[in-house]
Structure 1
Amino acid sequence: MPTGVHELFIDGVEDAIRSQLKAIRKGSDKAALFAQKVRPARSTEIYFPVDGASLTKKSKHEPDASFWHTDARYPGVIIEVAYSQKKKRLSRLAEDYLLDSNASVQVVVGLDIEYGKKGSRKATMSVWRTQVVSTANGDELRVVQEVADEAFRDDDGNPTDYEGLQLRLKDFAYEELALNEIGDEDLKVGISTRQLCEYLGAAETMVNRSESLGEHSVGPGIKKRKRSETPPEEINSNDEASKFRSRNGCLTCRARRVKCDETRPLCKACGKKNRPCQWKEPYTKFKDYRPDGPTSSRSAAGGTDNETDTKEDMMDVDGIDGVAGIDKRDEAVRANSSSEKGFSRNTAPKSRKNCRTDGASEDQKEATADAAYQRCVALLIEQLSEDAVSHDETLLCAVVVLRFYEQLNTLSSTGSDDEQHLTGYSAIIRSSRGNRYVDPSAPTFREAVFWVYVRQCLYNATINQQPPDIDFSLQLHPTPGEMRDAHPLARLRLETAWANQMTWNLACVVNFCFDGREPQNEKAHKMRRWQELWDLVQTWMHERPDTFNAVFEGLASGQGSFPRILFTADWHTVSFGFYHFAHIMLLRYKPGPKFAIRNVENLSDTDHQILSHARAICGASNSSPETVPLAITVCHTIFIWGPLVCNSGERDQVVQILSNFEKHHVWPTTWIINALKAEWGIPTSSNSPT
């Protein structure tokens, strides 16, 4: 059978199934969530263990089409188009798929189009599944042919009265996984005989008309010239190896040991065979930067003596002149691009000037950084005009880095932060969400970025005492309590989910406290909501894994008054801080009558409770100064509890925590210290920590 008919027919069948899965994904039930995890994988290689052989020996198969659940090792549905010799061994092939996968493959579909058989256009279908059969020697897992050579097209090419291909949604994953995720909410996925005939007929017509189809006409007198090939005598061993493998080629070609032309996103070899062209995830190479090393322009840029020169076009930045080549074309952006509204070419944070400058070399570093920043923003604006920008993970990564740079370069004396990239960040994330659910275990890069964004929102929301720019209509799914997984990394996945659950709880609390849109006549509703959030925070504390407990808690040492609290992992420490901050917010903004201005010299019982939670946060941060996220938590939560600190010793400790954070991690805190001292009635200083 010509490859064209085979591939075009498979494409039609696969597209029909994919379209039905897309329709199911639009719902909000369990079936929709399940369908969102099912993806077509066409001829992706499958490796099965060989019975009786070593663990390293595996059999390899490449089906014509397959559908995989993201949490399954093997595809649930496999489709093979049978022709010529393949028809005779399709039954054996189905046994291999079903039994070697231990019934993880749920169904194998065989489509026999009898291509080339003169005088007949008949096409048939066969379906195989597994069944446990009781015998005298015990239960046996066998393969049964559910549908045997059932015609879906007759000899004349017309569709038959047969019902066609009938699958169930649960077929797309192994039994336990399907039962756990959809239960009884099973749905039908089918292709009628009429549709099958249409796909097959269209494929045959396309191939038969190939000679009469249009093509580009080269003008008269134009000669075609191909590049000259390397003479055989000049080919060395490395060149010979490159014929079959490519270091930078796609993973599909490398696995098949064929040469790849490295064309992205679809290389020529994969496009010709209609295979999925898979590439390694992009990565960033960080050069060795040693601040205490030589101050030459090379070391200032982060290079080392034994490092090969990097590509000059990486950023096209070499000092201040590096951005001179950016012309006015970069200013043009789409007016209808909501994402771009958060960015402008003038968003470069002003460099922080303090007493730690090192003369010309320091100025040169700042100029180089600013130039790189401006060039990056220019490239970012170009990308934002693309239609697929909301699904570009590389772009999301760039915005994360730019937002972090924006925070580090906030003027330390004033704390001025325009939040330019945070705004654009929000627009991209909102436009890229295809459903109303977010996984707290962050299994994908996009979801990991979402949780970074939530934490960055909390920082600005607390300082400015405004609702965080987060879509609270999203739902966490699955919740940490629902996660049951035997994967070796399941424990890490579960802990990530519990940590992000606390992050989400805190975001909901902050939104409740700073959202002033609640009608005045809804006091009872607001109190109920407050109680729900209080219970939510308490439930997290009671149900979270024991690994989140501190491994050491002790009294303050020396002259300090903050307790010493140690944890085994950074995310435990950060979750501990978020838990106590949630209490601070709920205590501070509990609905009810209160005075607009408080007398901090006579603290109330609530104020003392707030300070006890604040001491816990400061104690954990002071005990683990290397845990930067918790130090950042201290920086923004202090705007809620800072004015309540009356003890001079505790005030000095708070200032020391902030000073050390800027000194060792370059996070701007001088302006926070000055704001605190102003609240305390203490003279301020504009100098940054040395």
Structure 2
Amino acid sequence: MPRVFNKSCSNTCRYRKIKCDQAQPICGQCSRIGRYCDRAKRAPKVRQELRHSAEQADDSSKDCGGAATPVTSPRDALQSSRTADFFQHYIAELAPWYDLSDGRRHFAVQVPILALDEALLFNALMALSAMHLARTSMPSARPAAESYHGMCIHALIGLTESDSRLLENGIALAATCLLRSYEILSEDADPNRHLQGAYSLASQPHRGFGHDHASTGSLLLQGFWNYLREDITFSLFGECPLKIDLAAVFVPPSATGTDHDHLNNMSVVLGSIINGLFGRNATSSDTSWTTWIGALRGWIQQVAGTVYPFSRAAGKAVASDLPSVRVLQDCHASAWHYFLVALCVLSSRAPAQKRQADIIELASSYQPHFSECKGREEFLEAAAMEICGIAFTSNSPAVIVNAFGPISFCARFIHDKAVQEDIIRHLFACQKRTGWPVQRIVGRLEAHWKAELGHR
């Protein structure tokens, strides 16, 4: 008798032909051994994709936009000029997205080296690179991107306990972080689904690092910080808790002695605030509030003077009142983004005027002009304009991609029509450069601005 297809079962368990307990966001089988838990609406048709790739990958497709040949040896595959172009494009254009809080640049340096011998990581890297090119300058690269993506999914859900090396050295988690970006660029119906699947890879402290782990330079740790930032982005989009419970997992130390630590540490603070204030179990107790305000105050007291903006001089062609805010490094920009959006989340949920005063006091520690804000509405608009100003002045794809979450959450508080229009123009300009489909962000902002206008 044929087995009934159960939509609640994870594709990983279905592929491995084992019983699934259907737990969300990761099933018990995958959680127990740290396996990737795939939650696609239907299992990827990998075998058909591979056959199609092999049939289409002739000599002519190697140097144009055809499907990719199934990869057995990344080094051999790179003898194709088209493949080499994709690989180089990742290193030059995309790796900085993932090295935002990593001065050692593991995703730019270590990931390409490992990808030369690890097909899983190679396919993830190539899928993202080809899709980015397809979205920005080379539409013909999409078939290759989809083919690499299919091979990557096939490898991820086929990981076994004997593949523990890929889990412990961070290769599987790094591949999943790249995969998540691919699915955003491809305008996947649910680009968040592989962020759910990666939960098992990011939340197991016994696999690769623990409380006694002295080095914060490993790929696994950098994968963790990337996972957390990606989780924050989607939580800000949906105003929902993180998938990772920061109180239940060991958060690796960030003490490299560099400015990148500020972004990592603020990521933890923001994540804790999101988990506390978004969702059905939201709380705004005095104890929680004191903890959050204390964490933000402690963070900003440790920030060196060189992390603050070095110039606020307006550009020659300013279309609105959006500020021009320049900082020395990309990690500085993103750290201030997270600090300001943390204050915005608190402000939007704070019931008492005393708490608004605490927020404005903290914001004034960053820039004195925030002290002029009279109440919640003025503060939220000023903070939102600051966030947008930092992002658009940076002109850095890494900063902008990481800023889409904060912008999506905060820009709705802006009431000035000229500024709203300027933000929309900037977002569409960013789409051309980053490949990110910003239509959803724009649609949400326009709907909110329209609703707010109706209430005024």
Indicate the TM-score class for this superposition, using the shorter chain for normalisation: 0.5 to 0.7
1:89-131 CA distances to partner (integer Å, 9 max, x unpaired)? xxxxxxxxxxxxxxxxxxxxxxxxxxxxxxxxxxxxxxxxxxx
Residue 563 of structure 1 contacts residue 615 of structure 1 at CA under 8 Å; is this kept in 2?
yes
Q: Is 1:673 the equivalent of 2:438?
A: no
Residue 324 of structure 2 contacts residue 389 of structure 2 at CA under 8 Å; is this kept in 1?
yes
Which residue pairs with 1:159 in the alignment? none
385-394 or 436-445: which moved more? 436-445
C-alpha change, 1:661 and 1:479, in structure 2 (3 Å) is: closer
Deviation at 1:589, TM superposition (A): 1.3
Deviation at 1:587, TM superposition (A): 0.5
User: In the aligned structure 2, how far is the partner of 1:543 from the partner of 1:529?
Assistant: 21
1:7-51 CA distances to partner (integer Å, 9 max, x unpaired)? xxxxxxxxxxxxxxxxxxxxxxxxxxxxxxxxxxxxxxxxxxxxx
User: In the aligned structure 1, how far is the partner of 2:172 from the partner of 2:419?
Assistant: 43
Residue 555 of structure 1 contacts residue 562 of structure 1 at CA under 8 Å; is this kept in 2?
no
Deviation at 1:509, TM superposition (A): 1.4
Q: Is 1:442 the equivalent of 2:216?
A: yes
Letter in structure 1 aligned against 2:308: N
Which residue pairs with 2:384 in the alignment? 614
Residue 408 of structure 1 contacts residue 668 of structure 1 at CA under 8 Å; is this kept in 2?
yes
Letter in structure 2 aligned against 1:659: F
User: In the aligned structure 2, how far is the partner of 1:644 from the partner of 1:496?
Assistant: 29
Deviation at 1:591, TM superposition (A): 4.2
Residue 556 of structure 1 contacts residue 563 of structure 1 at CA under 8 Å; is this kept in 2?
no
Which residue pairs with 1:69 in the alignment? none
C-alpha change, 1:439 and 1:310, in structure 2 (3 Å) is: closer
Which residue pairs with 2:429 in the alignment? 660
Residue 311 of structure 2 contacts residue 327 of structure 2 at CA under 8 Å; is this kept in 1?
yes
Match of 1:311 among 76, 101, 109: 76
Deviation at 1:646, TM superposition (A): 2.0
C-alpha change, 1:302 and 1:579, in structure 2 (3 Å) is: farther
Which residue pairs with 1:298 in the alignment? 63
TM-score normalised by length of structure 2 = 0.61
User: In the aligned structure 1, how far is the partner of 2:314 from the partner of 2:350?
Assistant: 30
Aligned length, in residue pairs = 318
TM-score normalised by length of structure 1 = 0.41
C-alpha change, 1:397 and 1:477, in structure 2 (3 Å) is: closer
SS at match of 2:312: strand
Deviation at 1:604, TM superposition (A): 8.1
Q: Is 1:496 the equivalent of 2:273?
A: no
SS at match of 2:204: helix
Residue 438 of structure 1 contacts residue 476 of structure 1 at CA under 8 Å; is this kept in 2?
no
User: In the aligned structure 2, how far is the partner of 1:366 from the partner of 1:438?
Assistant: 44
Letter in structure 2 aligned against 1:450: F
554-563 or 392-401: which moved more? 554-563
Letter in structure 2 aligned against 1:615: M
C-alpha change, 1:450 and 1:589, in structure 2 (3 Å) is: same
Match of 1:545 among 293, 304, 307: 304
Q: Where do 1:199-598 residues align within 5 Å?
A: 297-300=62-65, 311-312=76-77, 362=139, 364-384=140-160, 386=162, 388=164, 390-410=167-187, 416-433=189-206, 437=211, 442-473=216-247, 474=249, 480=255, 493-517=257-281, 526-555=285-314, 557=316, 558-591=318-351
User: In the aligned structure 1, how far is the partner of 2:168 from the partner of 2:221?
Assistant: 12
C-alpha change, 1:500 and 1:301, in structure 2 (3 Å) is: farther
Kindly indicate whether structure 1 or structure 2 has the higher relative contact order, using CA contacts under 8 Å at least 6 residues apart.
2
C-alpha change, 1:633 and 1:372, in structure 2 (3 Å) is: closer
Letter in structure 1 aligned against 2:185: L
SS at match of 2:325: strand
User: In the aligned structure 1, how far is the partner of 2:401 from the partner of 2:78?
Assistant: 35
C-alpha change, 1:648 and 1:384, in structure 2 (3 Å) is: farther
Deviation at 1:438, TM superposition (A): 8.9
C-alpha change, 1:301 and 1:568, in structure 2 (3 Å) is: farther
**How many percent identity over aligned positions?**
18
SS at match of 1:642: helix
User: In the aligned structure 1, how far is the partner of 2:152 from the partner of 2:404?
Assistant: 28
Deviation at 1:653, TM superposition (A): 1.1
Residue 136 of structure 2 contacts residue 433 of structure 2 at CA under 8 Å; is this kept in 1?
no
Which residues of structure 2 form unaligned runs of 5+? 1-59, 69-73, 84-126, 354-372, 452-456
User: In the aligned structure 2, how far is the partner of 1:433 from the partner of 1:368?
Assistant: 36
Residue 169 of structure 2 contacts residue 220 of structure 2 at CA under 8 Å; is this kept in 1?
no
More helix by share: 2
User: In the aligned structure 2, how far is the partner of 1:552 from the partner of 1:440?
Assistant: 37
Residue 440 of structure 1 contacts residue 479 of structure 1 at CA under 8 Å; is this kept in 2?
no
Letter in structure 2 aligned against 1:369: A
More strand by share: 1
User: In the aligned structure 1, how far is the partner of 2:217 from the partner of 2:260?
Assistant: 10
Residue 324 of structure 2 contacts residue 390 of structure 2 at CA under 8 Å; is this kept in 1?
yes
Which residues of structure 1 form unaligned runs of 5+? 1-294, 304-308, 319-347, 481-489, 594-602, 683-690
